Homo-oligomer: A and B are copies of this chain.
């Protein structure tokens, strides 16, 4: 820190070696605690590192190291606006930070072409692994992922074939379980209220599972209200107001997720619609607020953090290629 340094030039390993009076390899060995070195060498290097304020250059390290892959993982998520993905990252970073591996993230905005571009960009950093969301990708994305020489983990969705490892749960099964719950509770005139399905394919899978299970019970969705744009309480509220105005005899609404359901609940409160007496509400995700509502929301809790953790675990140990973490139906008081 207190040495003269030509401006613009950062301290290098060679500088440390010179300052410590040892060879470069020794410094490298000490810093990585790899190979053998004497106590004396260790101390001198540590001292020089502290004195010079040396920060290793991992660009060089990764390039030189065997495999030439960086201790980084690339993550592509479709959005940061939906709590699900930050939660996923939370589980992921918790597990990876412990191993000192940072995440390089890209946000695709639910656009497969953007996803492909991001995958290419991330692969250029030679990450140790690539974490994607969902199972549906451009052919180009798949090709890149396969030839990239990295481990690939696809998160959240298990309804389909993955490139390599898959960690998540079945969205179809969630939809089906939700439908069976509503049917068992005696609801018959059921509507669906969701955000843009063409964009959020997993919400579409849940709806498909939901409709299939309703069908098995001889029922069908009475009305579908699909709101453009991302899910949000505001969208859910507006959507439920539309449904209430248009259909007077609904007895339950299945929402694409808890955010939408919260908005629906607000709409019911505002309009004086009794929940679940007059209208039952069922969500998806099991977000934190669901349990704090005056009437706990009936929903399905998804293992979001655990998916992130397991995905991280896939990178280190030899994990099974396919991990279905399941989900938990929360009965709540709204359906």
Residues of A with Cβ closer than 8 Å to B?
A: 1, 8, 10, 53, 55-60, 62-63, 67-68, 70, 72, 80-81, 83, 85-87, 89-90, 93-94, 97, 100, 102-107, 114, 118, 120-126, 143-144, 147-149, 232-234, 236-237, 259, 262-263, 266, 269-270, 288-289, 291-294
Majority secondary structure of chain A interface residues (helix, strand, loop or mixed): helix
Q: Which residues of B contact A123 (CB under 8 A)?
A: 55
CB pair A100–B121 under 8 Å, yes or no, is yes
A221 to B87 CA separation, bound complex (whole angstroms): 35
Let me know if A103 and B104 touch, CB within 8 A. Answer: yes
In the assembly, what is the distance between CA of A99 and CA of B238, in Å?
36
Known contacts A59-B126, A80-B93; 4 additional CB pairs below 8 A are A93-B106, A102-B104, A105-B105, A259-B289
What is the count of identical protomers in the complex?
2
A234 touching B124 in the complex, CB below 8 Å, given contacts A1-B147, A106-B97: no
Residues of chain B lying within 8 A (CB to CB) of residue A62: 59
Contact of A266 among B105, B149, B232, B294 (CB under 8 A): B294
Nearest Cβ in chain B — how far from A72, in angstroms?
A: 7
